[in-house]
Copies of this chain bind each other. A is one copy, B any other.
């Protein structure tokens, strides 16, 4: 950030009065521009015991498999955001959405909110950001070709919960170290 989005003046990193950390402060109108983490919403969509994954048609991680997820938009609820992403990326509709996990990724300023859901029917097709949409049984999940650590962690939790027969709400911190580990469950 170099310029104030309000007045076009130059901004500098300074600690505002009464604050305890650096913010972008406009040198002309004095407005403080706060920067906050961004929320990503998505789901684990199930059909007859299998999970719907999408093969990414966009960077980053073009060609890898992911759960339908994307940035929450202003004016929508987290549940509606997750439903929108499921439709946009996989052309699918879901029944009830159950909160399933909250994942912090502090080093990139993202928070993922993931739901569990069952598809309404067996209809799905890749959207513009997906090369393919495909159902995988839990024993066929392409662990070595997943897009992001948070997708792996969500699916690992799901795999374990399904094996145990009990699904509970998870809250996990996706650290930079975890992001570098590349092994399946």
A contact set with B: CB distance below 8 Å: 1-8, 11, 18, 21, 33-39, 71-79, 99, 102, 104, 106-107, 109, 111, 113, 128, 169, 171, 173
Please give me the 6 A-B residue pairs with the lowest Cβ-Cβ distance, nearest first: A3-B8, A77-B104, A1-B5, A74-B109, A169-B169, A5-B5
Alpha-carbon distance A102/B72, docked complex (angstroms)? 14
**In the bound complex, what is the Cα–Cα distance between A128 and B7 (angstroms)?**
30
Chain B residues with Cβ under 8 A from A1's Cβ? 5-6
List the number of copies, as a whole number.
2
Q: Nearest residue in B to A168 (C-beta to C-beta)? A: B169
Q: In the docked arrangement, what's the CA distance between A8 and B55, Å?
A: 37
Q: Which residues of B contact A8 (CB under 8 A)?
A: 2-3, 8
Residues of B within 8 A of A77 (CB): 104, 106, 173
Residue on B with the closest CB to A106?
Answer: B75
Asked if residues B102 and A78 are in contact (CB atoms below 8 Å), the reply is yes
16 contacts between A and B (CB under 8 A): A1-B5, A2-B6, A4-B5, A5-B5, A21-B73, A36-B72, A36-B74, A37-B72, A74-B109, A75-B106, A75-B109, A77-B104, A77-B106, A78-B102, A99-B102, A99-B171
